[in-house]
């Protein structure tokens, strides 16, 4: 069915990723599917977080905070790259977006 809102698919991509050899091919797949690419700079965590984090892979997590700069949108549904949607998520839009108005 139709949704009570318009929506866009936006992929936030680190500036450093745009320099990788496979970036053009992968970004083309997304844009061909209707996604917008938003290139964002790395947000480095505060020093006290750096010194207490033993897992280097978690340090770029602060970059996800760029999503809060998307003020042009009435609502945002954030799905991380390790999320697999197995069913319809239309209720998120039909039930909750109207409550945000």
> In 24-51, which positions are buried (b, 16+ CB within 10 angstroms) versus exposed (e)?
eeebeeeeeeeeeeeebeeeebeeeeee
Q: Determine the average pLDDT of the residues in 63-92.
A: 86
pLDDT digits (tens, 9 = 90+) for 43-69: 887 777 666 666 667 667 888 899 989
Greater confidence, 74 or 67?
A: 67
Q: Which of 8, 29, 25, 12 is nearest to 75 (CA)?
A: 8
């Amino acid at each position: 069915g139709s949704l009570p809102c318009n929506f866009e698919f936006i992929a936030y991509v680190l500036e450093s990723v745009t320099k990788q050899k496979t970036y053009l091919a992968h970004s083309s797949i997304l844009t061909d599917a209707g996604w917008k690419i938003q290139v964002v700079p790395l947000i480095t965590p505060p020093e006290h977080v750096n010194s207490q984090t033993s897992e280097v892979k978690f340090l770029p997590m602060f970059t996800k905070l760029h999503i809060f700069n998307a003020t042009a949108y009435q609502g945002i549904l954030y799905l991380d790259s390790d999320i697999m949607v197995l069913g319809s998520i239309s209720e998120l839009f039909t039930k909750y977006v109207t409550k945000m108005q």
